[in-house]
Amino acid sequence: MTLALTFTAHDIANTRFAISPLGEVVASARVVKNPSAHP
């Protein structure tokens, strides 16, 4: 089975990338644990 996706330049321009929410939680927990290490 083959799947073909076609994107226009407009589609690519509207593409956004996000950081994993779990990664954000881990980074936030590190700051809460040791705030002086993160200015």
What digits encode the pLDDT tens for the residues 18-37? 788 888 899 999 999 999 98
Contact status, residue 31 vs residue 38, Cβ threshold 8 Å: yes
Please give the pLDDT value at position 33: 94
Quick check: is 1 in a domain?
Answer: no
Between the two ends of the chain, the Cα-to-Cα distance in Å is 51
Please give the pLDDT value at position 15: 86
Quick check: is 23 in a domain?
Answer: yes
Instruction: Count structural domains, the chain.
Output: 1
- Residue 33, domain extent: 15-39
Q: What is the pLDDT of residues 2-13, one digit of tens each?
A: 999 999 999 999
Instruction: Please tell me the total number of residues recorded for the chain in this structure.
Output: 39
Residues 29 and 8: their CA atoms lie apart, in Å, by: 40
Please give the pLDDT value at position 8: 95
Please give the pLDDT value at position 19: 80
Quick check: is 10 in a domain?
Answer: no
Contact status, residue 34 vs residue 27, Cβ threshold 8 Å: no
Please give the pLDDT value at position 3: 94
